[in-house]
Amino acid sequence: MNSTSLTVLDLVAIAIVLISAGLAFLRGFVHEVLSIGAWVGAAFAALYGFPVVRPLAREHISMPLAADIAAGVGLFLVALIVLSIVTSAISRQVQSSGLNSLDRSLGFLFGLLRGGVVVALAFIVLSWVFPPASARPDWIMLSRGLPMMERGADILRSLVPSDLLEEENRARSMTQDAQEQAKRAMEAKQLYDRLAQPAPGAPQPQQPVVPASGAGLPQTNVQAAPTPTLIGPNGIGANGQPARPPSTAPSLNGQTLSGPQTGQPQPQTQTQNAQPGTGYTDKDRQGINQIIQKTQ
């Protein structure tokens, strides 16, 4: 921003001063001074007349707090209305006389002074919001009217009693403490948000995947070896059925685990089948038949 340009603070201050001066010019010096006197007189009337009116208000209003508020506000409004009527009557008499031009000219000067006082008061409040000069924004620090505002604020502070100055310093320190706490709270919130939400594109930690029970594993069909059958005499089992030689090799998915694989040549072996129901081979039967024939 150019140092010769006006900031927002400059424009607002100029607008306040011009509006105050214009109103004072139209109303006149006498009207403006008496108007301020009317407000001050109404405040004093409410202050000193409150102890007298409060008992009367409490007789008609059951709530003490509401009665006190009604008494104070009522006194202030009544006094302000009466004094405003008196002010209007006096100002009309002055404007209708030959002192009209002088009254308006003095009113314009008074309006400028009143606008400057309002701007100085606003700057004091603004200094509470931005206590350190380093924390003030550019529209304050680059203001061309900043030296005049600071000078006006210092003049007003010199006219204020020391007790009120202590209250001002206390209010300023409280405002600064509140701003510091709000700043720390905002920084803590921003830090928490950064920790809770990682930056976009950051690699996410891989979580180990634990398969469910039986999931992803090859299904096998393992057949247990059959229970061996007790063989009695003559090759008859214990249950009266012909005994069969047990198969001791387990099978996997219907295929026997032991023995030669499919497609491989198997050795030729001579086996003699036993007759069903006897458990004897053909050679044994022939030998038995020969013995029976010899004995006959």
pTM (whole model) above 0.95: no
Q: What is the pLDDT of residue 120?
A: 92
| Polymer length of the chain | 296
Asked whether residue 40 is assigned to any structural domain, the reply reads: yes
Q: Is 28 left (phi over 0), alpha (psi -120 to 50) or beta?
A: left
Q: 179 and 109 in one domain?
A: no
Taken in order 260, 263, 267, 271, the sign of the CA dihedral is: positive
Q: What is the pLDDT of residue 270?
A: 45
Asked whether residue 47 is assigned to any structural domain, the reply reads: yes
Q: What distance in Å separates the CA atoms of residue 10 and residue 143, rounded to the nearest whole number?
A: 6
Place of tokens 């928490």: 192
Comparing C-alpha atoms, which of 17, 13, 21, 18 is closest to residue 111? 21
Comparing C-alpha atoms, which of 73, 84, 88 is closest to residue 43? 73
Given a contact cutoff of 8 angstroms between Cβ atoms, the answer to whether 120 and 149 are in contact is: yes
Asked whether residue 126 is assigned to any structural domain, the reply reads: no
Asked whether residue 71 is assigned to any structural domain, the reply reads: yes
Q: How far apart are the first and last CA of the chain?
A: 143
Asked whether residue 134 is assigned to any structural domain, the reply reads: no
Q: What distance in Å separates the CA atoms of residue 247 and residue 237, rounded to the nearest whole number?
A: 16
Type of residue found at 5: S
Given a contact cutoff of 8 angstroms between Cβ atoms, the answer to whether 113 and 17 are in contact is: no
64 three-class SS: helix
Q: 176 and 107 in one domain?
A: no
Asked whether residue 255 is assigned to any structural domain, the reply reads: no
Domain range holding 99? 8-115
Asked whether residue 142 is assigned to any structural domain, the reply reads: no
pLDDT along the chain (296 residues), means of 10: 74 94 92 92 90 89 88 92 93 86 92 93 84 74 88 84 70 73 82 72 58 52 51 53 53 49 48 51 75 71
Domain boundary residue, one of 76, 95, 115: 115
Asked whether residue 171 is assigned to any structural domain, the reply reads: yes
Given a contact cutoff of 8 angstroms between Cβ atoms, the answer to whether 178 and 129 are in contact is: no
Q: What is the pLDDT of residue 141?
A: 85
Domain boundary residue, one of 149, 174, 196: 196
Place of tokens 């948000």: 193
Comparing C-alpha atoms, which of 285, 270, 272, 271 is closest to residue 234? 285
Q: 108 and 13 in one domain?
A: yes
Q: 171 and 89 in one domain?
A: no
Place of tokens 């089948």: 273
Q: What distance in Å separates the CA atoms of residue 219 and residue 230, rounded to the nearest whole number?
A: 34
